[in-house]
């Protein structure tokens, strides 16, 4: 057994190491786009770019090569082997031979997403039209802003269009007029996130309206007079959201992920979370309103069950929705129990509390039982036999049943939990004295459970803490399946985002 265990562990370690090694590309292991055909210039093995973007980038590079013979390659990976993006990109450029042999008119754009690094490498033949300063300008103006906002597709596309306008312009200048659509304005950097956030708001607004209509439908169905909705889901949701943001700061700081989390691209997630909290509080407020709109416990259970069933679809958008699903079953079971008569004779009629006056209630319930209902230790269903006129009570545990026990004097479930009565208050130098007393909420029963010493006061009790030159036009002369055999001496520019 130990040998098999050791073999299993070593196999798992080898597998993990192989996965990790696969995730970090070497110059030799990185897929060459030319292996897929001469019209391909983009290597994106980790699928950081959308398919449509890759097609458009290939078309840009193909147009450049067709007009002046230059080769523009783009590589996007998650990670690579080594410590220098410059050395890796330079080695990759020369390994693939980007550009035509002799002309050395190649250009490489390399991105390492996990390390937040980008690098342009230029061949000797294009250093005149792509000086390092121009490549740096393209990187910082068209590439980095989009990368910071998480829009990798737009980042690479904007940089590629800038490279294209230099390659194809008569005097090899960066023609800004042709790049207006790709300039990193606030909207085209964050438009997608804003659109998604707006969709989330609209979706949750429909869910809120759905719940409100469901509440009104239930009230109408049970012939209950509509009461004023006094829920404040927006403010409860806002307070909870701010609190969760504050608490999450510590987690993100400890895990060193705060920069990745608090980015504009994640706005839809924050908006969806905020809206989900509002929806949850709205559901709770509607359910509470229904319960308070009737004096009859069974009717309240039936209305809450009906409301939850009508709200099952919008509840999918709310956190902890499964609690509502559980509530449907629980409330339905309790409602059936309350609707169960004392026997199967068919002569019993349940008395609805909404139809009983306080005077009627006194004929059915004793003072002790009314007190139990008032403190919610118990609740009663009143049944009257239509033939004999006999009455019978069925008791159910109240919401505060665990807070009260049976009083030995009046025999009602009205005995409170022990409380401490201060006899001699504590000081900063001496202990105080208190008495544990248990009293009844209905009768005058009182029982002493003994005396206790109260702790000496300390300073902490009253203080509060604080904190906080390229050759002329021409078509490619290289053989199919490879770049043209160009080389670079290390010209280019790079940076981080």
User: What are the pLDDT tens digits along the chain (497 aa)?
Assistant: 455 545 555 555 554 444 444 468 898 999 999 888 888 999 999 999 999 999 999 999 999 999 888 899 999 999 999 888 999 999 999 999 998 888 888 999 999 999 999 999 998 888 888 888 889 988 988 898 888 888 899 899 999 998 998 888 777 767 655 666 566 667 766 777 888 999 999 999 999 999 999 999 999 999 888 778 888 999 999 999 999 988 888 888 888 777 777 888 789 999 999 999 999 999 999 999 998 899 999 999 999 999 999 998 998 888 766 777 777 888 888 999 999 999 998 899 999 998 899 888 899 999 999 999 999 999 999 999 999 989 999 999 999 999 999 999 999 999 999 999 999 998 888 899 999 999 999 999 999 999 999 888 876 544 444 443 333 333 333 444 678 777 776 777 777 87
CA distance 228 to 220: 14
- Picking from 139, 169, 184, the residue at the C-terminal end of a domain is 184
Q: Does 483 map to a domain?
A: no
User: CA 384, 390, 393 angle in degrees (round to 5)?
Assistant: 60
Please state, in angstroms and rounded to a whole number, the distance separating the CA atoms of residues 372 and 375: 5
* Single residue among 184, 208, 236 that ends a domain in this structure: 184
pLDDT of residue 489: 66
Looking at the structure, tell me whether residues 42 and 177 fall in a common domain.
yes
The answer to the question of residue 478 being in a domain is no
Q: Which of 307, 366, 356, 360 is nearest to 332 (CA)?
A: 307
By the 8 A CB rule, do 457 and 426 touch?
Answer: yes
User: Cα–Cα distance between 244 and 490 in angstroms, integer?
Assistant: 49
Q: What is the pLDDT of residue 347?
A: 92
End-to-end CA gap in the chain? 51
* Alpha helices by DSSP H, 24-103: 51-68, 85-96
Q: Which two three-digit tokens encode residue 282?
A: 């709205």
Do 380 and 294 have their domain in common?
no
Are the C-beta atoms of 347 and 356 separated by less than 8 Å? no
For residue 410, give both structure tokens: 């009046």
CA separation, residue 231 to residues 239, 242, 284 (Å): 14, 19, 9
Query: What are 153's two structure tokens?
Result: 């597709």
Both tokens assigned to 380: 């009663």
Counting beta carbons within 10 angstroms of the beta carbon of residue 432, is it exposed (0 to 12), middle (13 to 18) or buried (19 or more)? Answer: middle
367 in the same domain as 324: no
Looking at the structure, tell me whether residues 239 and 179 fall in a common domain. no
- Are residues 180 and 102 both part of a single domain? yes
239: containing domain: 190-338
For residue 400, what are the contacts with CB-CB under 8 A and spacing of at least 6? 375, 376, 377
Phi, psi dihedrals of residue 102, rounded to the nearest 5°? 95, -45
- pLDDT confidence of residue 13: 53
If asked whether residues 221 and 311 sit together in one domain, one would say yes
Q: Whole-angstrom Cα distance, residue 53 to residue 181?
A: 16
Domain identity same for 260 and 316:
yes
Q: How far apart are CA 41 and CA 384, in angstroms?
A: 87
- Chain-centroid distance, C-alpha 24: 30
Rounded Cα distance between 491 and 227, Å, is: 75
470 Cα distance to chain centroid: 51
Same domain for 424 and 401, yes or no, is no
Q: Is the pTM of this model over 0.75?
A: no
Res 22: pLDDT: 47
Looking at the fold, whether 270 and 204 belong to one and the same domain comes out as yes
- Locus of tokens 């070497």: 26
Domain assignment of residue 493, yes or no: no
Please indicate, yes or no, if residue 241 is contained in any of the structural domains.
yes
Task: Tokens 């996965």: give the residue.
Answer: 19
Distance CA 279, CA 352 (A): 32
Say how far apart CA 323 and CA 78 lie, in whole Å. 40
Q: Number of structural domains, the chain? A: 4
Closest CA to 41 of 84, 49, 112: 49
Q: Are residues 177 and 38 in the same domain?
A: yes
- Domain assignment present for residue 307? The answer is yes
Q: Is 476 within the bounds of a domain?
A: no
DSSP one-letter code for 479: P
- DSSP for residue 355: G
Q: Are residues 85 and 207 in the same domain?
A: no
Give domain status of residue 410, yes or no.
Answer: no
Whole-Å CA distances, 120 to 57, 112, 117, 429, 480? 16, 12, 11, 75, 25
Domain boundary among 184, 218, 237: 184
């Amino acid at each position: 057994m130990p040998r098999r265990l050791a073999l299993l562990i070593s196999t798992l370690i080898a597998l993990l190491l192989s996965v990790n090694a696969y995730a970090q590309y070497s110059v030799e292991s990185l897929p060459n786009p030319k292996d897929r055909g001469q019209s391909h210039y983009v290597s994106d093995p980790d699928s950081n770019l959308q398919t449509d973007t890759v097609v458009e980038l290939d078309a840009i590079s193909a147009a450049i090569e067709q007009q002046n013979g230059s080769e523009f390659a783009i590589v996007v990976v998650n990670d690579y082997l080594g410590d220098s993006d410059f050395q890796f990109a330079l080695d990759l450029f020369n390994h693939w031979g980007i550009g035509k042999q002799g002309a050395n008119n190649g250009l490489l754009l390399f991105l390492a997403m996990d390390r937040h690094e980008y690098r342009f490498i230029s061949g000797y033949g294009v250093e005149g039209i792509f000086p390092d300063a121009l490549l740096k300008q393209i990187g910082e103006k068209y590439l980095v802003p989009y990368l910071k906002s998480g829009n990798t597709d737009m980042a690479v596309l904007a940089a590629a269009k800038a490279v294209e306008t230099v390659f194809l312009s008569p005097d090899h200048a960066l023609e800004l007029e042709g790049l207006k659509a790709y300039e990193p304005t606030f909207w085209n950097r964050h438009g997608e996130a804003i659109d998604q956030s707006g969709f989330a708001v609209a979706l949750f607004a429909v869910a809120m309206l759905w719940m409100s209509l469901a509440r009104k439908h239930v009230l109408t169905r049970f012939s209950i007079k509509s009461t004023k909705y006094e829920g404040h889901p927006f403010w409860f949701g806002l307070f909870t959201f701010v609190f969760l943001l504050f608490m999450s700061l510590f987690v993100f700081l400890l895990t060193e992920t705060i920069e990745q989390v608090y980015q504009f691209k994640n706005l839809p997630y924050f908006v969806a979370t905020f809206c989900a909290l509002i929806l949850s509080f709205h559901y709770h407020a509607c359910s509470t309103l229904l319960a308070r709109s009737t004096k009859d416990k069974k009717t309240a259970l039936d209305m809450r069950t009906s409301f939850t069933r009508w709200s099952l679809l919008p509840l999918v958008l709310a956190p902890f929705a499964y609690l509502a699903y559980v509530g449907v079953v629980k409330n339905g079971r309790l409602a059936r129990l309350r609707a169960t008569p004392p026997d199967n004779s068919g002569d019993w009629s349940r008395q609805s509390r909404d139809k009983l006056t306080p005077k009627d209630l006194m004929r059915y319930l004793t003072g002790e039982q009314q007190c139990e209902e008032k403190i919610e230790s118990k609740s009663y269903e009143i049944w009257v036999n239509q033939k004999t006129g006999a009455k019978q009570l069925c008791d159910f545990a109240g919401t505060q049943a665990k807070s009260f026990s049976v009083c030995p004097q009046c025999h009602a479930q009205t005995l409170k939990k022990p409380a401490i009565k201060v006899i001699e208050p504590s000081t900063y130098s001496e202990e105080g004295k208190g008495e544990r007393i248990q009293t009844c909420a209905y009768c005058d029963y009182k029982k002493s459970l003994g005396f206790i010493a109260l702790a000496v006061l300390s300073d902490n009790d009253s203080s509060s803490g604080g904190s906080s030159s390229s050759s002329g036009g021409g078509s490619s002369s290289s053989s199919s399946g490879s770049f043209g055999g160009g080389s670079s001496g290390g010209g280019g520019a790079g940076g981080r985002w």
